[in-house]
Chain A
Amino acid sequence: MNCWPPKVHLPKKSTKKGALDIMFADGLFLTFAVLAVIGAVGLVLFRHPMNGAMSFVITLISLAGLYALLSAKLIFALQLIVYAGAIMSLIIFIIMFLNIQPDDLPKEETKLLYILGSIIVVLPIGLFLVKIVKSLPITSVEFMDNNFGGVKEVGLLLFKDWLVPFEIVSILLLVSLIGAVILAGKRGTSK
């Protein structure tokens, strides 16, 4: 594993096309970032969870775009398939399954006040993190070779160096599967 600070790679070909690519990439980053933040704000603000979930899907898809910009091809695919696809559709399915009426929702008259208060509380944490990030050394962008973040490379890493955590995660998934079946499968306890 590499140590901090990383090697700084200058673009090999400082062509006009490369500079244009960088500009294009910056534009994409800005677009995705703004979309992600808008989606997140929407999630926090919408009253009905369905609207919140839809807005959260926007965030997730934007994040998938950002992963693509970071040349994480496998994670990009997984973000779309597992997160935006599987997990969010599960959540939305449950929301629809429960057939939530507006009366079921909590009445949050002081929601905005709460949000304002929490922003004040959270602000020092954010500023502290920003301060840390600012203190990191600046590295420039480079174009990675095609193999970075591919299925084969990440897979090799996963099954060589990370085999034990991988197996443990598989057990975790099994346990949660059983737990979900037991929890949601209870019958006749209500009423």
Chain B
Amino acid sequence: MEQSVNYLGLIPLFPLLGAVLIGLVHVFTCKKIKVPEMVYGILACVGPVLSFIMALKVFVALKALPAESRFLGHKVFTWFSVGDLHIDMGFLADPLSCLMLLFVTLIGSLIHIYSIGYMGGDKNYGKFFSYMNLFLGSMLILVLGDSPVVMFVGWEGVGLCSYLLISFYSEDKQNVLAGNKAFIVNRIGDLGFVLGMSFLFWGIGSQGFDYISLKANVHHLSPAIALTVGLLLFVGATGKSAQIPLYVWLPDAMAGPTPVSALIHAATMVTAGVYMVARFSFLYAHVELAGSIIAWTGILTALLAAIFGMFQDDIKKVLAYSTVSQLGYMFAGVGVAAYSAGIFHVFTHAFFKALLFLGAGSVIYALHHEQNIWKMGGLKSKMPKTYITMVIGALALAGCPPFSGFFSKDEILYSALASGHFGIWMVGVLVAGMTAYYTFRMIFVVFHGEPRDQKAFDHAHESPGVMTVPLIILAVGALFAGFLNLPAIFGGDQIVSHWLAPSLTEHHPHTSIFVEILAIGASVVAFVIGIKIAYTKFGQGASEPAFSGFTKFAYNKFYVDEVYNAIIVQPYKAIGSSIWKVLEPNVTDGPVKAASKLYMAIGTAFKVFQVGYVRVYAIYMIVGLSIMSLFLSQSLN
């Protein structure tokens, strides 16, 4: 059924080994000797680059197979086997995971190279790269795992690494709190994932719990359980991929270093949820209700995040909300059963979002860690490479026609329209306009107009080559990645969709060309309107606006964090402190302390016998023998 190749396990192994090696080097040398940063940099980049080469090898191997049997597997060892549950530590490479693999390792490698420059001079240089490699390794396990359980290993691994990296600058308490928030919110989602996995096993797990067996047996699942499993797995996805209601951690995750943000937003972590839904496409294709819920959650998240994004004044927060918004699109795509469209958007998004984050990082680096866009301005002349690449990224994000984001976003909107989800389509078009608006608001404020902070402007400079080269590579990707899946109307043949077809269970609706033109036209119009408004407001330079009314409400993110704090965190704290202060000392401590006192008393009573003289112990023994003899001689008669 599937061909076994033994090099699959190596792909996640390289970064994991790198993480261990770098970690050990860092631990043993951080106190005494200073290891040159170049050593760490080279060590850190070797793993991801080797993984990328292996991923290419996997791609070539898959390409050589006939389309219907493009499955490469490798069972490394039996992890555990309890009753009906047999879990192998196995890896599976099919077109879906291969696509993920390619761009995760490529973009991961580029981000690693970029980090060599960006993190220069940090005193925890080694620790940073150790975590980054671990992060990438976890993501590769997640992508390659051949069963939900192995996927969960990677799932938890990226959760852990996001916590470690978000609170990387741990001297500042705010950063640590942001890390905590990410971790706790992710845990809530993980609970859903674990429950979903348990239900799935309860339903059809006994016939094998890897994806291929699950796919073969999914029709045995009753509709109610299928719906439950689908929704619970989606709860996991909302945590990992930052959807309503668990999106709150992602904007706070900006506390980490910028390459980490790029890694989280582009290559790893947040795409895991979309990947998971696509991976379970055989399940979701059977339960339309779950699909609709996912699609609506996604598109509403997109809308909400776009509203927030329009009023942010931190360059990274703007990008963060744009990620949440784009993730919403992806979920809308997979929700309307256009899995290949969703995954394609993941793919293109990885390029332009990594590009934007690394570009933003370049700006922040140039301005000595200034992140407020209202303190920038006019940087176009100072940083031409960063400016051009970022504009390319922004155009891709906003959905300007020839750029990659346009094709993938349009594919999602078209699928929504074609499958009859008019509401989702209309909201999607609206969000597309808003996306164009807030993206170019950021570009105009940062790069155009007059410098707002003359002193910072004078010190600004273009970033070194190690940072700009990855930007240029990513810009090329952001420009041309869209052509990989050119729809038929433009004379393309949808390579990616056809490539993904064996892994996914989806039906391509056949509609008239009018619908397709309508979808494309609406997207373009929304883009043009959005960019026009942004230009008229910010194109010539504008000062920081004052917020009032609705805008103030949106600037403060609808006070969602405050509401969560009031209705969930505070009651929890109150319950906890009441248990600690009232219940514990008065109720539960009593029996516990009484028991200890009882044993103390018994011990004190028996202490009398421990006189310390060896002779007396002999006497005890003899007395015991004597009593035994008395009884035995009774019975001897």
A residues neighboring B (CB under 8 Å): 118, 121-125, 127-129, 131-132, 135
Contacts and interface: CB of A to CB of B under 8 A. Distances in A.
B60 interface: no
Contacts of B630: 124, 128
A128 B619 contact: no
B465 to A, nearest CB: 72
Interface string B598-622: 0000000000000000000001001
A131 B626 contact: no
B633 interface: yes
Interface size of B as a range: 10 to 19
Interface of B: 619, 622-623, 625-627, 629-630, 632-633, 636
**8 nearest A-B pairs in the assembled complex, by CB-CB distance:** A128-B629, A128-B633, A124-B629, A124-B626, A125-B629, A124-B630, A121-B626, A131-B633
A135 B637 CA distance: 10
A124 B628 CA distance: 9
B626 A132 contact: no
Contact of A135 (B623, B625, B632, B636): B636
B625 A132 contact: no
Given A121-B622, A121-B623, 11 more contacts: A118-B619, A118-B622, A122-B622, A124-B626, A124-B627, A124-B629, A125-B629, A128-B629, A128-B632, A128-B633, A128-B636
Contacts of B632: 128
A125 B630 CA distance: 8
B396 to A, nearest CB: 82
A121 B625 CA distance: 9
Contacts of B622: 118, 121-122, 125
B629 A121 contact: no
A131 B633 CA distance: 7
Contacts of A123: 626
A63 B629 CA distance: 27
B636 A125 contact: no
Nearest to A127: B633
Nearest to B618: A118
Interface centre among A128, A131, A135 (most CB of B within 10 A): A128
12 contacts: A121-B623, A123-B626, A124-B629, A124-B630, A124-B633, A125-B622, A125-B625, A125-B629, A128-B632, A128-B633, A128-B636, A131-B636
Contacts of A124: 626-627, 629-630, 633
A53 B275 CA distance: 91
Nearest to B634: A128
Contacts of A131: 633, 636
A123 B625 CA distance: 11
B38 to A, nearest CB: 58
B8 to A, nearest CB: 57
A74 B622 CA distance: 34
A71 to B, nearest CB: 31
B487 to A, nearest CB: 89
Contacts of A135: 636
